[in-house]
Amino acid sequence: MSETLIAKATSRVSWMMIIRGVLAIIFGVMVAVWPKSTVLVIVWLFGIFALIDGIIGVAHWFTDRVERSTWGIVSAVISILAGLVAIIWPGPTALAMVFLIGFWAILLGASQIALAMRAKKTMKHWYLWLICGIITVVFGLIMVFVPGAGLLSLLWLLATFTIIEGILLIVLGIFLRRVANDRARF
């Protein structure tokens, strides 16, 4: 495959990472600013975030003709399903929100770790993806095994997680953009 095609594919991926990061930060800030808002609104916000994240992940999978990863599409489908459940059944989801978000984060983090390990050979800053995955898994484990921490604590934890995740995704997108620009020059 030519360097130009690889540079174009990497450039598309970098923008998708940056968009996902910005969405995560917006979601995290909204949760932090309105921690006492109704649980249903938070469930809807989570559902919309997960749905958009999954749709972008599917788009990424279809547009990345260089390397289509099974983990990437699995991660996207999990996000879409979690988002749809939260949007369609917000009442019951509110009761199970802690566990839904926890299991979603564990599966998403595991797929990010797998993607990071795969990218280790080809990407200089692969460890940022690994850090994203580890943070995501730890967040998910806390949600599943310490649900009694209280809804307000849960919301602050969710806000912190998504802001950190968003920052890391933006940084990763910027590094990928630099890789694309470097490849385009040669």
Residue percentage of the chain with pLDDT more than 70: 87
- Identify whether 186 is part of a domain: no
Q: Write the pLDDT tens digit of every residue in 50-105.
A: 999 999 989 988 887 777 778 888 989 999 999 999 999 887 777 677 787 889 89
- Identify whether 81 is part of a domain: yes
pLDDT over threshold 90, residue 106: yes
- Identify whether 177 is part of a domain: yes
Q: What is the pLDDT of residue 78?
A: 93
Q: Which band of pLDDT confidence, cut at 50, 70 and 90, is reported for residue 48?
A: very high
Q: What is the DSSP letter of 37?
A: S
- The DSSP result for 62-78, as a single string, is HH--S---HHHHHHHHH
Under 8 Å between Cβ of 42 and 31: yes
- Structural domain of 107: 3-181
> How many domains are there within the chain?
1
Q: Write the pLDDT tens digit of every residue in 124-176.
A: 888 888 998 999 999 888 888 887 665 667 778 888 989 998 999 899 888 88
